[in-house]
Amino acid sequence: MPIDVTPEDSAVFARVPSTGRITSQLRHVMTREWNRCTVCGVQGDMHRPLFAGYDAEGQALLAHARCASTIIELATPVYWTEQPDISIADTQMVWRYMDFAKFVAMLQQQGLYFPRADQMDDKFEGAAGNASREAEWDAFYLKFFRGAVTTPPPGYPAPILNEDQIDREAKRLLSSIKASGENARSSLVSCWHANSGESEALWRLYCPPPIAGVAIRSTVQNLWNAMEHEVSAVVGRVHYVDFRKHFAGIGNDRLFFKRRSLSHENEVRIVIADRGGSDPNSRVIQCDLSALIEEIVISPFAPSWFHEVAANIASTMGLEAPCRQSDLLEQPFY
Ligand SMILES: [Zn+2]
């Protein structure tokens, strides 16, 4: 897509020092606003940059050139992309259903457990699509890259490449995006369920009777807050697609695409680009659980004595959050 940097845009680049410093707060703003300006609320122009940076108070902004007067530090220009819109409202309520052992482990570790994407149950984690369509995907990107290597940016002469060179370069680019897809599978993921209330289906899925379990309730804003020291962390909404007709994105975008057969999960997830660590298959990210968790709900299938046990363990281990019985235990009247 051609980029059209106008004199108004050039003036911003000239006025503001560019640092490349992206804080968790700025990543939050960029993810939530997608291609929209935080100052005027209007979407960016398709061919022009938005400016992601900070004002004098250190607040993160994403702004049009015409709205960028308060930006004093430029982190990065943001060009319109075909990237999926994974934005989700900060106020969205999110849940995590877990058995009691996982709940105790979370309290003891004082943080959230992140398995690596390739260690998760769904073998489509980080997949580009159905294997039966791989040749189609390869052909699409080969054609795209052949176009890209022979089309110079405006004002530059066309490169002189023979057919062999074009072919080789396009194939090299194809294998590099395939490798970036493989890398996505080493990202760390924490899965949450977006819902304004409890889900009987998820209780049955994660804590089937007689397993005693709990659900913890939080918000998208709290997830971002919990990840404030993980600058690569992104909190986003998962898209459910029919892989017979669609492909997932490129690189880490893929982790926000799942098969439509999983749409009941209505998932919001935290994705952290892998940074290694002592256990390569997972990491625990420590955070203030009392700030993260707004409420603990006891499984409707748990025995009656379990509520008190779970509440006691939580408070003994320092978690300050109310603990209540499931709404599903309400009785009907006729
Ligand atoms: Zn604006």
Q: Are residues 254 and 299 in the same domain?
A: yes
Q: Report the separation in Å between the CA atom of 167 and the middle of ligand 1, taken as the mean of its atom positions.
A: 42
Residue 84 lies in a domain: no
Residue 237 confidence (pLDDT): 97
Q: Are residues 192 and 222 in the same domain?
A: yes
Q: Report the separation in Å between the CA atom of 69 and the middle of ligand 1, taken as the mean of its atom positions.
A: 10
Residue 277 confidence (pLDDT): 62
Q: d(Cα 74, Cα 13) in Å, to the nearest integer?
A: 8
Q: Report the separation in Å between the CA atom of 77 and the middle of ligand 1, taken as the mean of its atom positions.
A: 14
- Other beta carbons within 10 angstroms of residue 64's beta carbon come to 22
Residue 169 lies in a domain: yes
Query: Phi and psi for 118 in degrees, rounded to 5?
Result: -75, -5
Residue 87 lies in a domain: no
Residue 25 confidence (pLDDT): 96
Q: Report the separation in Å between the CA atom of 36 and the middle of ligand 1, taken as the mean of its atom positions.
A: 8
Q: Are residues 225 and 103 in the same domain?
A: yes
Q: Report the separation in Å between the CA atom of 51 and the middle of ligand 1, taken as the mean of its atom positions.
A: 10
Q: d(Cα 28, Cα 224) in Å, to the nearest integer?
A: 7
Q: Report the separation in Å between the CA atom of 123 and the middle of ligand 1, taken as the mean of its atom positions.
A: 41
Q: Please tell me what DSSP assigns to residue 56.
A: T
Residue 1 lies in a domain: no
Q: Report the separation in Å between the CA atom of 62 and the middle of ligand 1, taken as the mean of its atom positions.
A: 8
Q: Are residues 247 and 115 in the same domain?
A: yes
Q: Report the separation in Å between the CA atom of 44 and the middle of ligand 1, taken as the mean of its atom positions.
A: 7
Q: Report the separation in Å between the CA atom of 61 and the middle of ligand 1, taken as the mean of its atom positions.
A: 10
Residue 105 lies in a domain: yes
Residue 168 lies in a domain: yes
Q: Are residues 225 and 284 in the same domain?
A: yes
Q: Report the separation in Å between the CA atom of 260 and the middle of ligand 1, taken as the mean of its atom positions.
A: 35
Q: Report the separation in Å between the CA atom of 225 and the middle of ligand 1, taken as the mean of its atom positions.
A: 26
Q: Are residues 162 and 287 in the same domain?
A: no
Q: Report the separation in Å between the CA atom of 37 and the middle of ligand 1, taken as the mean of its atom positions.
A: 5
Adjacent-strand bridge partners of 218:
94
Q: pLDDT digits over 100-144, tens only?
A: 999 999 999 999 999 999 999 999 998 989 999 999 999 999 999
Specify the pairing of strand 323-324 against strand 295-298: parallel
Q: Report the separation in Å between the CA atom of 63 and the middle of ligand 1, taken as the mean of its atom positions.
A: 5
Q: pLDDT digits over 267-278, tens only?
A: 999 999 866 666
Q: Are residues 34 and 158 in the same domain?
A: no
Q: Are residues 260 and 321 in the same domain?
A: yes
**Which helix or strand (DSSP H or E) is residue 145 part of?**
helix 134-150
Q: Report the separation in Å between the CA atom of 65 and the middle of ligand 1, taken as the mean of its atom positions.
A: 7
Q: Are residues 195 and 262 in the same domain?
A: yes
Residue 259 lies in a domain: yes
Q: Are residues 178 and 191 in the same domain?
A: no
Which positions ≥6 away from 133 have C-beta within 8 Å?
A: 243, 244, 247
Q: Are residues 118 and 135 in the same domain?
A: no
Spatial contact of 20 and 76, defined as CB atoms under 8 Å apart: yes
Q: d(Cα 273, Cα 20) in Å, to the nearest integer?
A: 17
Residues of the chain with pLDDT under 70: 1-3, 154, 274-279
Strands (E), 129-273: 188-194, 213-219, 234-237, 239-241, 257-259, 267-272
Q: d(Cα 44, Cα 115) in Å, to the nearest integer?
A: 36
| Domains of the chain: total | 3
Residue among 319, 173, 137 nearest 245 (CA) = 137
Q: pLDDT digits over 224-261, tens only?
A: 999 999 999 999 999 999 999 988 878 888 999 999 99
Specify the pairing of strand 239-241 against strand 60-63: unpaired
Query: What is the span of the domain harbouring residue 152?
Result: 131-183
Q: Report the separation in Å between the CA atom of 39 and the middle of ligand 1, taken as the mean of its atom positions.
A: 5
Residue 88 lies in a domain: no
Q: Are residues 111 and 255 in the same domain?
A: yes
Q: Report the separation in Å between the CA atom of 18 and the middle of ligand 1, taken as the mean of its atom positions.
A: 19
Residue among 111, 260, 267 nearest 199 (CA) = 267
